[in-house]
Structure 1
Amino acid sequence: MSTSHAIRHVRITPIAFRDPPLLNAAGIHEPWALRSIIEIETAAGLVGINESYGDLPMLEALAKAAPALQGLSPWSLNEMEARVRALVTPPKQTTSEFLTQQVSLAPGTHVSKTVAKVISAFEVAMMDLQGQMANAPVVDLLGGAARDRVPYSAYLFYKYAEHIEKPYAPDAWGEALKPEQLVAQARRMIDQYGFQSIKLKAGALPPEQEAAGILALAQAFPGTPLRIDPNGNWTVETSLKIVQQLHGVLEYYEDPAPRLDGMAAVARECDVPLATNMVVTDFAEFRRNADMGCPVKIVLSDHHYWGGLRATQQLSMLCRTFDLGLSMHSNSHLGISLVAMTHLCASVPLLTYACDTHYPWQDEEIVTGGRLKFENGSLRVPTGPGLGVTIDREALARLHDNYLRCGIRNRDDLGQMKKYDPAFTGVQPRF
C-alpha cells in the first residue's frame, strides 16, 4: 500500500438538528436529534465520510477506537474490525438488563450493539474512500447494483403540534392525533415525495384509536400497502384483537408484541406476516428465530447496528436461505446515512419491501446541494465515486453549534414525555 493512501486522521463531529414532537411507544421525540459525522482522512488528503448515532456513549466509543485506524489502508476492513473489537468492549449485562433491552424502542442504543455500531461507522467512511480511490460508487464495491433506485415508504407518526418547551415555531406538519389528521399527513407526504406505501408508528395511543387510523388510511388510499408498528407495546391478546380488526388491510405487522416469544405467540394465530427491527437485530437473534421456526417472516435491517454494509449483505443471504423477507429500518437521519442505505439496498437482490425513512421529518441537511430528491417514492442510486455526496462545511458548523447549545447528550423519549404527563412510565407492553 502506498503511504499516501494510509489513514492519518479520524474526525468525529457531533451534530444536532430539529426534530418534531413525534409520539411513540417510549414517549415522544425531544426537540433535537443527535448524530455524529465521521471523516476519515488519508495522507494524500482524501476524506471518506459517514453519519451515525450521536449519543454520548457512541461518541465515547468512536473516540476510543479512532486512533486504531491510523496507518491502515482504507481497504483493510477486516483489520479495522479486529482493532475495534479489541478496543471497544461493551460492559457485561445482567439477565434483567438484557431482557429490558429486548423490548426497548431503539435496538441501536443497546450496549450490546456498540462494537457493531462503531465498525459500521468506520466501514462506510472507509468504503467511501475506496470508491474515491477506485473511481467507483459504493454500490459497485458491494457487487454492483441490482436496481438503479430504491423505494421508500411514507412513515407516519401521531404527533403534537409543537414541543412543550417551544424552542422553535410549530413544525409545518401540525397536529396528528385523529384519523382525519393522519390521512392529511399521509396525503401531504405522498404528494410531496410520491411514496407508494405507508407505515404508521403506533403504540402511542389506545390501540382501537390507532386501528381506526389504519382503516381511515385504507379508505383514503385504496390499494396502497399499509403497515403498523406498535414497537412491542401491545400484549399478545391486544395484538390479535387489533389484527382481526385490520383483516385484509395490512401488508405486514411490525413488532406488535414484545420479545420473540411474544411475536411467536402472535404468529401462531395470525395470517399476516410479522416483521421486526426489535427482536431480530443481530445474527444470534436470527438463529433463535430460525430455531423457533421463523415466527418473524420479515427482517427490517439497519446497517448502523447490524455491523455495516457487508454484514447486511450476509444477512440478506440468510434471509434468502430461510425464505424470509428483507427491508430496512430507519431512525432520525440526514442525507449521508440515507445515501449509504441507498447504496446498500441497491446492492441487495433480495429487497422485498419499500424501506423506512424518517427523512421527511427533518428539514435540515448536511450534504452539499441540500435535501435529497425522491422520485415516485424512490431515491436514485448515486453514480459518483464513493457515496457520491460531500459535506457542506457551513451546514456542518451550524449543526455542530446546535449540538453545543441544545443541551441534549442522550436520547430520552421517556424523560421528554414526562414533561407532558408526569405519570407516564413507559413500561411495555402498555396496552
Structure 2
Amino acid sequence: MRIVDAVVTPIAFPDPPLLNSAGVHEPWALRTIVELSCGDGLIGLGETYGDAPHLELVRKAAVALAGADPFDLTAIRRTVTVAVAGQDAADRHGLTGLPDTVAKVFAPFEVACLDLQARSIGRPVYALLGGRCRDSVAFSAYLFYKWAGHPSAPPDAFGPALDPDGIVAQARMLVDRYGFRSIKLKGGVFEPGAEVEAIQALRTAFPEHPLRLDPNCAWSVATSHSVAASTAGLLEYLEDPTPGIEGMAEVAREAAMPLATNMCVVRFADIRPAFTQGAVGVVLADHHYWGGLRASADLARICDTWGVGVSMHSNSHLGISLAAMVQLGAALPNLTYAADTHTPWQDGLDVVTAPLPIVDGAVAVPDGPGLGVELDRDTLARLHENYLRCGVRVRDDTAYMRTFDPAFRKLRPRW
C-alpha cells in the first residue's frame, strides 16, 4: 500500500464579521483540503489552514509523499520535516500562539493517513487511537461579539451582538438550534468591565450552563486578577487572560477558577515550564497544530499525569476537521471539558456530503470506516472557485479591521 497521489485544494467560504482581540474576521475564511490516494479506490481526507505560506509548505510536502507507506507515519513525518526545511508559516492573526511549523504541516497528512488506514480495515479512526470511550463528543456554544454584517454587505442571518443583550440573544439562538450545554464568549474586544457584564447576563439567562471567557491575552496581569475576582463563581474556566507562561502563572496563583490556554502551551516544549509553574489548569488541544491526532492523544495523556484538564480548540473549520475532532474526542478518556467548534458559524455550508450534526450539544461518534465522512466534490469545486475569485490569501484580522478603523492596533495586553 503506497501513496500514489496527494491532492491539495485551497478553498474559501463565507465568514461572518466575528470580533476578537486581533480585529475582525474577513468575509472569506480559508482552508485547505488534502486527499491521499493509494490507487485502490480508497481516499484519505485531511483539512488544514489556508493561508498562503502554510499552503505552499503543504504543497511541497504533498509532492514529496509519492510512494510513501500511509502506515509508516514516522517516515512521513521525516519527509514532511525535510520538505519544510526550517521554513516558517506563522499566522498573522496570532490567536494560537507560535506552534511548530512541521507539526502544522504534518497534521493534515497524518489525519488523511489514519483515514486511509482505518478505511482499509473497515474500522473507525478512533479504533487506531485506542478505542472508543464515549458515544458522543460534547461541544460548547461559541459566542462572538459581531457586527450585523460586513460593512460592504447586507446584514447576515446571525444579527449583531455588541452588548450583553446581543450576546444573550446570540446564545439563545445557538442553544435553541444546537442544544449546547456550555457557553464560551470570545472576549478581548471591549473594556473588561463590559465583558464581565456580558458574563453576568449569560449567567442570569443560563443559570445551569458552564461559562467560559477567552480574551486572547488582551489583559495585563493586574487586569486579569481583577476580572478573575469579578467572575469568581461564574466561570468554568478563564482562557488566556494574559500573555505568556509567567503572566498566566501569576494570575493562576490567585484566580478562583482554572486558567485554560491555546496560546501559551502550543507545543510539547511548552509543557514543562507551564505545568511546573502551575500556569494552566486546562489545555485546549488542537490536532491542526499539535501534529495530528496521535500527538494530541499523547498531549492528553501528559495532561492526565499532571492533573490538567483537556478540551479542544477550534479555528474556522469545515466537516473534515469536525470529524477528526470527534474521532479524537471519542478516544480521549480525560476529555474533561466540552470542545470548541465554529461549525454553527458556517451556517450549514460544508465540504462533506453528510455533515455530522450537533444534537443536544454533542456529535454522535460515527461507526463507519475512517473519519466517517465523505468529500462532496461539487461543493469542493465551488469553494475552490471561491478561493480563486475572492482575493484573500492570508487571514489578517488586524489589517481588515484597519480598513474601517485606521487607528486600530493589535495590542497584547490592551487593558
Give the shorter-chain TM-score range: over 0.9
What is the aligned counterpart of 1:39 among 22, 29, 35? Answer: 35
| Correspondence list, 1:13-412, <5 A | 13-91=9-87, 104-107=94-97, 110=98, 113-166=100-153, 169-292=154-277, 294-363=278-347, 364-369=349-354, 371-412=355-396
Separation in 1 of the partners of 2:77 and 2:172? 44
TM-score normalized with structure 2 length: 0.97
Rounded Cα–Cα distance in structure 2 between residues aligned with 1:160 and 1:123: 37
How far apart in 1 are the matches of 2:72 and 2:86? 23
Measure the CA separation in 2 of the matches of 1:344 and 1:60. Answer: 27
Q: Deviations over 1:43-99 (max 9, x none)?
A: 223211111111101111011111221112221111101111122133489xxxx9x
The question of whether the paired residues in 1 share the 8 Å contact of 2:232 and 2:256 is answered with: no
| In structure 1, distance between residues paired with 2:82 and 2:51 | 22
* Structure 2 Cα separation of the partners of residues 388 and 120 of structure 1: 18
User: 2:2 and 2:308 mapped to 1: Cα distance?
Assistant: 40
8 Å Cα contact 1:239/1:257 also seen in 2: yes
- Displacement of 1:193 in angstroms is 0.3
Change (3 A) 1:332 1:221: same
Matched to 2:292, the amino acid is G
What per-residue deviation string (whole Å, max 9, x for no partner) do you get for residues 139-165 of structure 1? 111111010100000000000001122
Q: Who is 2:6 aligned against?
A: 10
Alpha-carbon displacement from aligned partner over 1:368-418 (angstroms, at most 9, x marks no partner) = 13x431121000111111011111111001100110111000000000110
Give secondary structure in 1 for the equivalent of 2:100.
helix
**Percent identity between the two aligned chains:** 53
Which aligned runs of 4 or more in structure 1 are off by greater than 3 angstroms?
Answer: 90-93
Distance 1:104 1:40 in 2: 30
> Structure 1 CA distance, aligned partners of 2:85 and 2:228?
41
Distance in 1 (CA, whole Å) between partners of 2:324 and 2:187 is 27
In the alignment, the residues of structure 2 paired with residue 372 and residue 346 of structure 1 have an alpha-carbon distance, to the nearest angstrom, of: 14
Report Cα offsets for 1:133-192 as digits up to 9, x if no partner: 0000001111110101000000000000011222xx321111000111110100110000
Aligned partner of 1:127: which letter? L
CA contact (8 A) 1:194 1:377 kept: yes
**Aligned-partner SS, 2:399:** helix
Query: Per-residue deviation at 1:198?
Result: 0.3
Instruction: Give the whole-Å Cα distance in 1 for the aligned partners of 2:52 and 2:268.
Output: 26
C-alpha distance in 2 between matches for 1:16 and 1:178: 30
Answer yes or no: is the 8 Å Cα contact 1:61–1:114 preserved in 2: no
Q: State the alpha-carbon separation in 1 of the partners of residues 211 and 68 from structure 2.
A: 46
- The residue matched to 2:299 in structure 1 has which SS? helix
Distance verdict in 2 for CA 1:120–1:27, change over 3 Å: same
The 8 Å contact of residues 164 and 419 in structure 1, kept in 2 or not, is answered as no
Q: Once the two structures are superposed, what CA deviation does each residue of 1:236-266 show, in whole Å capped at 9, x if it has no partner?
A: 1111111221121010110001111111111
1:317 is displaced (CA, Å) by 1.0
Instruction: Look up the equivalent residue of 1:89 and give its one-letter code.
Output: A
> What code does the residue aligned with 2:147 have?
Y
Following the alignment from structure 1 to structure 2, what is the Cα–Cα distance between the partners of residues 155 and 44? 40
SS of corresponding position for 1:40: strand
Q: Which amino acid aligns with 1:147?
A: R
Instruction: Give how far 1:291 is off.
Output: 3.1
Q: Structure 1: how far apart are the matches of 2:276 and 2:230?
A: 30
Are 1:158 and 1:182, in contact at CA under 8 Å, matched by a contact in 2? yes
- Residue identity opposite 2:163 in structure 1: K
CA distance, structure 2, for counterparts of residue 300 and residue 146 of structure 1: 19
Aligned-CA RMSD value: 1.6
Between the aligned partners of 1:361 and 1:307, the Cα distance in structure 2 is: 25
Residue type of the alignment partner of 1:226: L
Aligned counterparts of 2:7 and 2:279: Cα–Cα separation in 1:
42
Number of residue pairs matched? 414
Q: Secondary structure at the match of 2:271?
A: helix
Q: Secondary structure at the match of 2:250?
A: helix
Please state how far the C-alpha of 1:131 moved relative to its aligned partner.
Answer: 1.1
Give the letter for the 2:308 counterpart: L
Separation of aligned partners in 1, 2:4 and 2:88: 33
